Structure 1
Amino acid sequence: MTSVKNTLLPPSLVSNLQDVLMNRNGREDAGGSKLEEGTEGCVGTNEEREYQEGKPIVLVTNGDGIGSPGLTELVDALVRSRQYVVHVCAPESDKSASGHSVTLRETVSVSSVEVHGASAYEVSGTPVDCVSLALSGSLFSWSKPAMVISGINKGSSCGNHIFYSGAVAGAREALLCAVPSLSISLNWNKDESQESEFKEAVDVCLPLINAAIRDIKKGIFPKRCFFNVEVPSTPAANKGFKITRHSQYRSVLSWQAVSSSRYPAGHFMSKQQSLGIQLAQLGRDASAAAAVRRLNAQKKTVEIESVAEHGKPEPQRGTARKYYRLEFTEKDQEAADEDLDFRAVENGFISVTPLDLLVQCETEMYNSASDWLAAALAPSDVQTS
């Protein structure tokens, strides 16, 4: 039996140290034989055992929130396959169109939740926060999973939507951390699509996921890119996978004026109210059950004083306040190239687009910009390579 040598430490502290050592090395029964470590009440024990048996770890995140059907169907399928150790770290609420944003100068809250038997956490931050936090080693015992899967997102991530998509940003953050990744979206049709199609989307994407993880283990999966996967609106009727190129497809950002009379009082949250909610979140125990935490959040009302810097008056605002709501409006696309991502999806294929982290301009564009800069500024102010 593991013991602590007699010291001048208080007896209560010695007893605590003995308990810690026993829990670390495996408990012993009365006869001196070791009991299996963590066989009672230890969350994640099965996953740790599977990890030791060599099963690859898959981290799942998304942009629609941890309770979205796309994520839950994906996690359920991965867990049921018994091929992987599945971990989840996803936003606690919808963070669609959050792009590659992170949470600075604020504290995020984290709570453990149950998602189809996977070890899971919900985070008050963005998808990028979730992936970065998970890969930091602060939540899970591993340093890096075999793959990060971000999705399944509800809505198109084709074309320039990749710059707005929180799901794509989660996969991009994984690649920044040198972890292979996929982002997956279902081309949701607002008037026709049904939630049952998320399960179909998972089913048609599993062969790609399995092949990717298989080749990651072999060391032959591409290392300089991640894949943005777009599933057509009727997944079960797809025509197969098609490698595609990133298009300039985009929706128009349309700002609509909104009358405050359409909403009940308090619908619009002030900065002070928002900060109050954040302070309330900090006071909650991050390890509490998600349902209890949400209930407490609904009951708490926090009032705080002005957050203006000391000695500086708050800016004076007019009495008339206007409200606007952002909507994406579909734009007709003229490009006819069948190898573009959105065209492939329109034609019934599952679009698979490799995306990298390079932000350099193409050679022709670089030369054009260099010529312009040289002509616009004095020659002595311009350095060319």
Structure 2
Amino acid sequence: MKLLISNDDGYFAPGIQTLFAALKNQPNLESMTLIAPDRNRSAASNSLTLLNPLRMQPTSNEENGKFRQFHVNGTPTDCVHLGVNGALGFQPDMVISGINAGANMGDDVIYSGTVAAATEGRFLGKPSIAISLCGDKHFDSATHFFLKIFADLEQLNLSADSILNINVPDLPIEQIKGIKVTRLGRRHASEPVVSQLDPRGLPIHWIGPAGVAADSAEDTDFHAVENGYISITPLKIDLTDYQTLHSLQNWAHKLDA
């Protein structure tokens, strides 16, 4: 198997480096390539860089032809697009995005560069997984459980337009209670914009923190993580609202009559 690893925290982030090191020992691993942004690109979503050239440069800790690392002056989606669509000279078999520092649950997936890297892999025909630690301490816990999931992936029959979005509580391994398969919860609206003046007296604005959970019912990712469980949520790439589709078709037919 040939793996492509990416994230939105940057190639230097502890989450991706911990995962990269752990995956080296997996059996049947032919090669593994890390391609990640050269700086933190959190909340970049699915943006692509179209008006400027991208530079994919080897990092100072590049090892050999089997395990390689690159950083890119672009977004997480750029990184995966380069890795799958020709920059490596070969096709990876799977895309893994993470381990992200911070949760990607509920509405977060709309903005998340971590989830976007995985969806880009799926857009380009590769099985893809996004994994996040709901904090920034216990990356060993996220890695431990990811390796268990990864070892059993052959048992899954994922649809061609789905990815797995995994969120791990920021707890020691022994305090994590297990795994729950969940749906996305929903957050309240973000906190208000924070407005200030810069040192020259000009106005500046900061995007406010994400809202707290509005829908954290028992079957949601929020509830699972809050109660010490790993959340695994399958996400569909097809955003079509099929429930509304038929009523719109009837409405449009009347307009055409």
TM-score over 0.5 (shorter chain): yes
Candidates 226, 239, 246, aligned match of 2:163: 226
Q: Tell me the equivalent position of 2:69.
A: 120
Quote the sequence identity (%). 30
What is the 5 A alignment of 1:66-85?
66-81=11-26, 83-84=28-29, 85=31
Preserved contact between residue 61 and residue 89 of structure 1 (Cα < 8 Å): yes
Preserved contact between residue 161 and residue 250 of structure 1 (Cα < 8 Å): no
Q: Tell me the equivalent position of 1:282.
A: none
Q: Give the CA deviation at 1:224.
A: 2.9
TM-score by length of 2: 0.89
**Larger RCO, structure (CA 8 Å, separation 6 or more):** 2
Q: 1:112 to 1:82 in 2, by over 3 A?
A: farther
The answer to which structure has the higher helix fraction is 1
Q: Give the CA deviation at 1:366.
A: 3.9
The answer to which structure has the higher strand fraction is 2
Q: Tell me the equivalent position of 2:89.
A: 141
TM-score by length of 1: 0.61
What is the 5 A alignment of 1:332-371?
332-333=213-214, 335-363=215-243, 365-366=244-245
CA RMSD after TM alignment: 2.4
Q: Give the CA deviation at 1:115.
A: 4.8
Preserved contact between residue 97 and residue 131 of structure 2 (Cα < 8 Å): yes
Question: Does residue 1:154 correspond to 2:154, yes or no?
Answer: no
Q: Distance in 2 between matches of 1:323 and 1:90?
A: 29
Q: Distance in 2 between matches of 1:251 and 1:321?
A: 27
Deviates more, 1:77-86 or 1:96-105: 77-86
What amino acid is the match of 1:100?
Answer: N
Question: Does residue 1:172 correspond to 2:119, yes or no?
Answer: yes
Candidates 325, 329, 338, aligned match of 2:206: 325
| Number of residue-to-residue matches in the alignment | 252
Q: Distance in 2 between matches of 1:255 and 1:184?
A: 28
Q: Distance in 1 between matches of 2:216 and 2:105?
A: 15
Q: Tell me the equivalent position of 2:34.
A: 88
Q: Give the CA deviation at 1:244.
A: 0.7
Residue-by-residue CA offset, 1:258-312 (whole Å, 9 max, x unaligned)? 2212xxx8xxxxxxxxxxxxxxxxxxxxxxxxxxxxxxxxxxxxxxxxxxxxxxx
Q: 1:83 to 1:114 in 2, by over 3 A?
A: farther
Question: Does residue 1:187 correspond to 2:134, yes or no?
Answer: yes
Q: Secondary structure at the match of 1:327?
A: coil
- Structure 1's unaligned 5+ residue stretches are 1-55, 266-319
Q: Distance in 2 between matches of 1:146 and 1:99?
A: 23
Q: Secondary structure at the match of 1:86?
A: strand
What amino acid is the match of 1:167?
Answer: T
What is the 5 A alignment of 1:264-279?
none
Q: Secondary structure at the match of 2:195?
A: strand
Q: 1:368 to 1:252 in 2, by over 3 A?
A: farther
Q: Distance in 1 between matches of 2:119 and 2:144?
A: 23
Q: Distance in 2 between matches of 1:105 and 1:257?
A: 31
Preserved contact between residue 337 and residue 343 of structure 1 (Cα < 8 Å): yes
What amino acid is the match of 1:254?
Answer: P
Preserved contact between residue 87 and residue 119 of structure 1 (Cα < 8 Å): yes
Q: Give the CA deviation at 1:336.
A: 5.0
What is the 5 A alignment of 1:247-262?
247-249=185-187, 252-261=190-199
Residue-by-residue CA offset, 1:12-50 (whole Å, 9 max, x unaligned)? xxxxxxxxxxxxxxxxxxxxxxxxxxxxxxxxxxxxxxx
Larger CA Rg, structure 1 vs 2: 1
Q: Distance in 2 between matches of 1:171 and 1:250?
A: 25
Q: Distance in 2 between matches of 1:115 and 1:245?
A: 38
- Structure 2's unaligned 5+ residue stretches are none
